[in-house]
Structure 1
Amino acid sequence: MSALAALVRAYERMAARGEVPAFGFSQEKIGFLICLDATGMPVGAPIDLRQGTGNRRVAGLMAVPQPGKRTSAIAPNFLWDKTAYTLGVTAGAGRRVAQEHEAFAQRHRAWLGGSDDAGLRAFLGFIAWWRPPLFAELGWPQEMMDHNVVFALDRDRAAGLHLHDRPAAREAWARLCLSDDRPQGLCLITGRRGPVARLHPTIKGVWGAQSSGASIVSFNLDAFTSYGHEQGDNAPISEAAAFAYCTALNHFLEPDSGHRIQIGDASTVFWAEAEDSAAAAAAEAFTASVFGLDDTAGTPAGTAALEAFATGALRAVPEGVRLHVIGLAPNAARLSLRFYVQEDFAVILHRFAAHHARLRILPGPKDAAPSMWRLLVETAVLRKSENIQPNLAGEWMRAILTGAPYPLTLLSSLITRLRADHDVNALRVAILKSILIKNFRMEAPMSLDHACKDSGYLLGRLFAVYEQIQLAALGPGLHATVKDKFYGTASAQPRKVFPYIDSSAVNHLARVGKHNPARRFDFERQIGGIMELMAPGENPFPVSLPDRSQALFALGYYHQRHDAIHAPADMPFAEAAE
Structure 2
Amino acid sequence: MLLQRLVDYARANNVGQAFHKEREFTWRLELSSTGAAPELVGIREPNARGKLAGQRHVTPAVTRTVGVAAQLGADDVQYVLGWGDEKTKPTRVAQCHEEFVALISRWAQCSPEDPVAEVVRKFYASGGVSRLIRPEAIGAKEGVLIAVDGIPVIKQDSLVRFWADEVAARKGGGTSGVCLVCGNVGVLLDTVPGNISKRLVPGAANNAALVSVNARVFGYALTTGLEHTPICFFCGDAMNAALTHLLSGPHTFGLQQQDSAMTWWTLGKPPEDFFQVMPDRPDPDAVGRVLAQLRNGRLARADQTAQTATPDRFCSVSLGGNSSRIVIRDWIDQPLQDILFNLARWYDDHQTCTLWDDEPVSYGLYQLALATGRWDKDRVRYFPLDAKGADRPEHIQRDLQRTSLRAVPLPPSVLHHVLHRIATDGRIDGPRAALLRLALRRHPDKEIAMPAELDDTNHDPAYVLGRVFAVYEKIQYNANRSPRSGGNGNNSDSGENGKAESQSLNAGFGDRFYAGAITNPRPAMIAGERLAKAWLSKIRRRPGGTGAGLVYVFNTELSELLDRIGDIPARFNPAQQAQFVLGYHHQRAHDAAQRRKPKTGTDA
TM-score (norm 1): 0.82
Q: Does 1:291 align with 2:278?
A: yes
Residue in structure 1 matching 2:252, options 250, 260, 284: 260
Residue 542 (structure 1) aligns with: 569
Residue in structure 2 matching 1:461, options 467, 470, 481: 467
Residue 492 (structure 2) aligns with: none
Distance 1:429 1:54 in 2: 36
Q: Does 1:247 align with 2:238?
A: no
Q: Deviations over 1:5-62 (max 9, x none)?
A: 11111111122xxxx3222222222445444333664577748385648962433432
Q: Does 1:324 align with 2:325?
A: no
Residue 232 (structure 1) aligns with: 226
Q: Offset of 1:176 from its aligned partner?
A: 0.8
Local SS of the residue matching 1:401: helix
Residue 499 (structure 2) aligns with: none
Residue 575 (structure 1) aligns with: none
CA contact (8 A) 1:330 1:336 kept: yes
CA contact (8 A) 2:80 2:144 kept: yes
Residue 360 (structure 1) aligns with: 351
Distance 1:38 1:69, change over 3 A: same
Q: Deviations over 1:188-247 (max 9, x none)?
A: 222233313324632233453225322333335433333342133343333322222121
Residue in structure 2 matching 1:170, options 160, 163, 170: 160
More helix by share: 1
Distance 1:231 1:165 in 2: 31
Residue 379 (structure 2) aligns with: none
Q: Does 1:398 align with 2:402?
A: yes
Residue 131 (structure 2) aligns with: 134
Q: Offset of 1:305 from its aligned partner?
A: 5.8
Aligned-residue CA RMSD (Å): 3.5
Distance 1:125 1:479 in 2: 82
Distance 1:309 1:268, change over 3 A: farther
Q: Does 1:387 align with 2:391?
A: yes
Distance 1:146 1:134, change over 3 A: farther
Q: Offset of 1:466 from its aligned partner?
A: 0.9
CA contact (8 A) 1:392 1:407 kept: no
Distance 1:380 1:236, change over 3 A: farther
Q: Deviations over 1:99-130 (max 9, x none)?
A: 53343223322443353121101111122245
Distance 1:369 1:446, change over 3 A: closer
Alignment of 1:468-507 (within 5 A): 468-475=474-481, 476-477=502-503, 478-507=505-534
Distance 1:165 1:125 in 2: 19
Distance 1:143 1:314, change over 3 A: farther
Local SS of the residue matching 2:57: strand
Distance 2:85 2:367 in 1: 41
Distance 1:45 1:419, change over 3 A: closer
In structure 2, the gaps of 5 or more residues are 300-309, 376-382, 482-501, 596-604
Q: Offset of 1:456 from its aligned partner?
A: 1.2
Alignment of 1:28-39 (within 5 A): 28-38=23-33
Residue 407 (structure 1) aligns with: 411
Q: Does 1:378 align with 2:371?
A: yes
Residue in structure 2 matching 1:65, options 44, 56, 60: 60
Distance 1:365 1:76 in 2: 61
Distance 1:55 1:222 in 2: 46
Local SS of the residue matching 2:250: coil
Residue 563 (structure 2) aligns with: 532
Distance 1:120 1:482 in 2: 81
Q: Offset of 1:147 from its aligned partner?
A: 4.2
The amino acid that maps onto 2:326 is L
Distance 2:155 2:204 in 1: 30
Local SS of the residue matching 1:182: strand
The amino acid that maps onto 1:235 is T
Q: Offset of 1:98 from its aligned partner?
A: 4.7
Alignment of 1:71-150 (within 5 A): 71=66, 73-89=67-83, 95-96=89-90, 97-116=93-112, 117-132=114-129, 134-136=131-133, 147-150=142-145
Distance 1:529 1:347 in 2: 44
Distance 1:217 1:460 in 2: 52
Distance 1:341 1:546, change over 3 A: same
Residue 443 (structure 1) aligns with: 449
The amino acid that maps onto 1:105 is V
CA contact (8 A) 1:197 1:238 kept: no
Distance 1:41 1:312, change over 3 A: farther
The count of residues paired between Structure 1 and Structure 2 equals 538
CA contact (8 A) 1:37 1:122 kept: yes
Q: Offset of 1:551 from its aligned partner?
A: 1.1
Distance 1:58 1:302, change over 3 A: farther
Distance 1:104 1:369 in 2: 57
Distance 1:105 1:305 in 2: 62
Distance 1:547 1:250, change over 3 A: same
Distance 1:301 1:334, change over 3 A: farther
Distance 1:165 1:206 in 2: 25
The amino acid that maps onto 2:226 is G
Distance 1:220 1:519, change over 3 A: farther
User: Which is worse superposed, 348-357 or 22-31?
Assistant: 22-31
Local SS of the residue matching 2:451: coil
Q: Deviations over 1:114-165 (max 9, x none)?
A: 531211011111222454453328xx798898642333432xx5xxx63223
Local SS of the residue matching 1:231: coil
Residue 416 (structure 1) aligns with: 420
Distance 1:362 1:53 in 2: 39
In structure 1, the gaps of 5 or more residues are 569-578
Q: Does 1:428 align with 2:415?
A: no
